[in-house]
Amino acid sequence: MILLPVTACGLLSVAVLNVNNMRDIENDIKAGKNTLAVRLGTKGARKYHAALILIAIFCLILFSLLYLHHWTGWLFLLAIPMLLNHIKRVIHDTTALGMKPLLENMVKAALLTNILFSVGLILN
């Protein structure tokens, strides 16, 4: 089912946007912007962020279990430590300044995950 990898890719893209919103949450509150991060609050936005990444990983694992029958279909697992480390950093660093490098980190992690999954799919 194509919906699983597409959902994973979309969730990782949303995670990039969410990091950006978490980084700007204080300014958005002052400016009266009503982003999802503002509505969820700092703690809720961090939990939401972790859920986005974990569900994306689950979707890729489920797709690989169901449809890929060679080890190359699991190349995306190489990116999981980077994703889990990113979650850990997001949960523990609560400052806007600390969020700044995490935006770039999330972009790289999402890109790496999607590239590895694509290469694994092609090689499979």
Q: What is the DSSP string of 62-123?
A: HHHHHH--SGGGGGGGGGHHHHHHHHHHHHH--SHHHHHHHHHHHHHHHHHHHHHHHHHHHH
Contacts of 28 (CB under 8 A, 6+ apart): 21, 34, 35, 37, 38
Q: Report whether pLDDT(28) > 90.
A: no
**What CATH number is associated with residue 17?**
1.20.120.1780
Cα angle 86, 80, 85 (rounded to 5 degrees) comes to 25
- pLDDT (0 to 100) of residue 110: 97
pTM, rounded to two decimals: 0.91
Flag whether pLDDT at 22 surpasses 80. yes
Residues sharing a CB contact under 8 Å with residue 94, sequence separation 6 or more, in sequence order: 42, 46
Give the residue numbers spanning the domain of 39.
3-123
Domain count for the chain:
1
Of the chain, the percentage scoring pLDDT greater than 70 comes to 99
Residue 118, both tokens: 């694509």
Q: What band does 124 get if pLDDT is binned at 50, 70 and 90?
A: confident
Q: For tokens 């935006």, what's the residue? A: 103
Q: Is the pLDDT of residue 36 over 80?
A: yes
pLDDT at residue 14, rounded to an integer:
97
The CA R_g of the chain, rounded to the nearest whole Å, is 15
